[in-house]
Structure 1
Amino acid sequence: MEKAREVLVIGGNRYFGKRLIARLLAAGDRVTVLNRGSSPPPAGALHLVADRDDERSLTAALGSRTFDAVVDQVCYTPRQAALARRVFTGRTRRYVMTSTVEVYAYEDSVELVREEAVDPRAVVVELELPWDDPEFVESHYGEGKRQAEAVFAAGQDLPYVAVRVAHVLGGDDDFTGRLQHYTDRIRTGEPITVPVVNKPATYIHVEEIADFLAWAVGADFTGPVNAASHGLLATEELCAALAVHLPEGRAVFRGVEAGEVSPFSFARSYGMDNSRATRLGFTFGDVRQWLPKAVAETLGKGD
């Protein structure tokens, strides 16, 4: 009988994180969830309470435990990555960090962007920036992830994977409020602000990214990998899918040259090439096939 894997999940106890944990448990893995104690883990998972930003607290909570894989759902800065690298080197055979499409914030191509467009080994790490300031971290989300990847890529002592996650849709527990933004405006006819040249993006369903992360835990590749469904969506198509459930409303778009725009509206390309993951063996769905289901789930109109 094959020995159960020991998997640690840091944070991520909601949305696709809780779905990942459920998949790992269903596969027979021994799952430990580490967080600050703000929420209990799903039934069947072990629980460690520690502040992942406090090296002493984290080391004490882990004790002598070792893991086959660690999935870090809440690594946002290079300082957090550096601490994790110190603590988990020698404790795990595989470190899976959830990264983001936002690492490509400086890329703008008509082609779908491939992983090599952002080589973390070439990214400058600036530990002296105010990474302890929540407002700074929020406003530098993509850069924080870029530099966190760079920290893990800087050495060979901790085999790592950086899963660059596309924009996630679906589920009745989407806490971001981004689709609600569009829903409210379609209902009232209030203008939806978009860039004058509004470019499409790649997306992934909440269940699909949970599947992807569970698959990545058991794979043996390393380095950055894009996780996105096949196909691109523009804001107008997303709103059209919402409008099906809002027959009394209408989508009115207002293009602006500068300033704040609605979520999922982009002046630059956010399309990711998923061919590396496909070659490695993961099968993605098509965004247009699952979009109606995702919208219905988010609006609470799913089955």
Structure 2
Amino acid sequence: MRKILILGGTRFFGKRLVERLLQDSVNDVTILTRGETSDTFGDHVHRIHADRFQANELAQAVGDTLWDVVFDNICYSPDEADQARRIFDGKTKRYILTSSLSVYDFSEEALTEDIFDPETYPIRHGGRNDFTYQEGKRLAEAVFMQQATFPVATVRFPIVLGIDDYTRRLHFHIEHVRNELPIGIPNPEAQISFIRSDEAADFLYWLGCSSTMAGPFNACSDGTVRIKDILTMIEEETEKLAIIQNQAADEHMSPFGIEHSWFMDTTKAQSAGYKFLNLNNWLPELVSSLNKTYEE
């Protein structure tokens, strides 16, 4: 059996990852949870209860178990990374850290993994409130890559979308167009990457369980989309015009409202054998599906 631990496996793509793992009978899956979010996995998974952000609780919950793979979807700071790399020292054969497109600055060119090198990035310590999201993720990667004694792969995801997106970022745009509310978008021409929640889970599974590769990997659907093209899709579905403004009140600023393009190159993962979905095939379908939920 392959013993797998998931930190952050009760919602969104973490939940999708559990579902994907359970499709393979060789996987013995354990979820670390505080017990605040219910799940539907029943006795198909094991559960250990602890707050991932409290080092003593995490260490006690993990105990002396040896894991084949640990998936960490909820690490946001160098201190959390440092706690984990100490706790799992000698207790895991492989560690998959969910990171982010946010480790990169904006660029009009496709971003490749070597643009940010966590193995040479100067480490500073602190909690998630001490850094921006971008800097927290950069430093978390740096701690694992420079100081972990076990193999680590980091997955740099863009914004993850799906019917099950609890952050409701695509929902925001559909609701605003349907309700004829203004949407603040600084640069409608900016290009952006996305990945679907089930695709994110499938990539994590592939990297953690079907490969032995370490280091950073970009993971996003093939292709890019301009922000204004997303709104065009929504306009076609709702039969209403989007009210686009460069500036708007905070509650009307788009979660996709980037000032410059921000998208990734996935040549590294594809060269290793992974095939991503085509963004322009699934994004219109997702917009249509979400819009129908409002009509129903």
Task: State whether TM-score is above 0.5.
Answer: yes
Q: Deviations over 1:122-180 (max 9, x none)?
A: 2222214xx254xx56xx11211110000001136121011001111122x21112122
Alignment of 1:1-303 (within 5 A): 4-28=1-25, 29-41=27-39, 42-43=41-42, 44-104=44-104, 107-128=105-126, 131=127, 133=129, 140-155=132-147, 157-171=149-163, 173-196=164-187, 198-218=189-209, 219-247=211-239, 249-256=240-247, 261-301=253-293
Q: 1:170 touches 1:297 (CA, 8 Å); kept in 2?
A: no
**Ranges of 4+ aligned residues in structure 1 off by more than 6 Å:** none
Letter in 1 for 2:190: K
Deviation (angstroms), 1:83 = 0.2
Per-residue deviation, residues 25-64 of structure 1 (Å, max 9, x unmatched): 1112000000112124523110000122222222221222
The whole-number CA distance in structure 2 between the counterparts of 1:79 and 1:15 is 25
TM-score normalised by the chain length of structure 1: 0.89
Aligned residues: 289
More divergent stretch after superposition (236-245 vs 143-152):
236-245
Query: Once the 2 structures are TM-superposed, how far is the Cα of residue 194 of structure 1 from its aligned partner?
Result: 1.2
Report if aligned partners of 1:170, 1:295 keep a CA contact under 8 Å in 2.
no
Check conservation: 1:97, 1:163, Cα contact below 8 A: yes
CA contact (8 A) 1:120 1:153 kept: yes
Provide, for residues 252-296 of structure 1, a one-character-per-residue CA deviation record: whole Å limited to 9, x for no partner. 212249x88411121122110011110111100110001122223
Give how far 1:191 is off: 2.3
TM-superposition CA deviations, 1:191-227 (whole Å, max 9, x none): 2211147411111111111110111111111011000
Amino acid at match of 2:80: Q
Name the % identity. 35
Q: Distance in 2 between matches of 1:208 and 1:59?
A: 31
